[in-house]
A and B are shown apart, each in its own frame.
Chain A
Amino acid sequence: MSQIRALIVDDSSVMRKIVERSLRQAGLDLSTVYEAGNGAEALGLLDTNTVDLILSDINMPVMDGLEFVRQLQTIPKLKGVPVVMITTEGSESNVVQALSLGAKGYIRKPFTPDQVKEHVLPVLGL
């Protein structure tokens, strides 16, 4: 995969920027980065845009990351898009639930760029 279109879902604009920077530091060639502040906004973006990778926070207003992943799995064209969850520490039950709903991996906050690389590249088969 040469150029990657990514969607970053987080209610914090700072965290979205940090995740994007970490993806670039991980060596990913990002052609487009879409941003959404919650799951509902993300689903709206995905109506008209195609992405290769989704990184999503869990704890968000309006629609949280777990419900977002659950809804993604019901949309045939989006079901195969790899999703990596971003979560605070001490939320193992959320992580287990996200993985059972279809997420392919998770990153715990706080995280280093190396940890982003370690968790994201495998789900892209890189």
Chain B
Amino acid sequence: MTQFSENALPTATFDRPTWTPLLELSTREVFEIMLTTQVHPYTEEANVKDGEFTALVGLAGSICGVLSIRCTDQSARIMASKMLGMTPEEVDSDSWDALGEIANMIAGNFKGKLSGVGNHCMLSVPTIIVGTDYESRSLAGGNTIESIFDFEKKPFWVTLELHE
């Protein structure tokens, strides 16, 4: 749901029941188009250690927050190989870059699906974190949507953390 205030910048009101399927749809579309891969919800219990690669993209404007993707090193490598039409063994540091681009495209696709938000929300260039030995604090008063998908039998997390 998007509400237009008296200010020039429309503000999007967090709406979990609507936004969660839109974020999942954006993820599925990016994987289908760029990796020719269909992804489905991960049905096993996900181990947080399977999130050793993290790509972050900031959103600022009508909605403010961070979209992140976390997955294993091997998953990132396979994602890059599918994007580039290579074998996973041929992929080097491209796996970092590929994960960042996937995060960027999901964020762009998602904001484009929120009526009135697309033109009023900027994306940052992606940042990549390697390793799981870090703590992340939720944004004060913010909301979080997280979906876990299955990629080659491993989980990957798509998380949207929003400022209030």
The answer on A and B forming one complex is: yes
Q: What is A's interface to B at a CB cutoff of 8 Å?
A: 11-15, 17-18, 21, 59-61, 87-93, 109-112
Give 18 new A-B contacts, CB below 8 A, not counting A12-B101, A89-B112.
A12-B97, A14-B97, A21-B84, A21-B85, A59-B125, A61-B125, A88-B107, A88-B108, A88-B123, A90-B108, A92-B118, A93-B119, A109-B34, A109-B108, A110-B33, A110-B34, A110-B105, A111-B33
Within 8 Å CB of B112, what residues of A? Answer: 88-91
Known: A14-B101, A17-B84, A18-B83. A90 touches B113 (CB 8 A): yes
Known: A14-B101, A111-B33. A91 touches B80 (CB 8 A): no
Shortest distance between the CB of A98 and any CB in chain B (Å): 13
B84 touches A18 (CB 8 A): yes
Q: Which of A14, A21, A88, A92 is close to B109, meaning CB atoms less than 8 Å apart? A: A88
Alpha-carbon separation in the docked complex, A61 to B125 (Å): 7
Q: Mark B98-123, 1 if CB is under 8 A from A, else 0.
A: 10110011011111111001110111
Alpha-carbon separation in the docked complex, A46 to B25 (Å): 40
Which 6 A-B pairs rank lowest in CB-CB distance, beginning with the nearest? Answer: A88-B108, A90-B118, A90-B112, A89-B112, A110-B33, A93-B119
Can you give 8 A-B contacts (C-beta < 8 A)?
A12-B100, A14-B101, A17-B84, A21-B84, A87-B108, A88-B109, A110-B29, A110-B33
Question: Which of A14, A21, A60, A91 has most chain B Cβ within 10 Å?
Answer: A14
Alpha-carbon separation in the docked complex, A15 to B107 (Å): 16
Question: Which of B94, B100, B114, B125 has most chain A Cβ within 10 Å?
Answer: B125
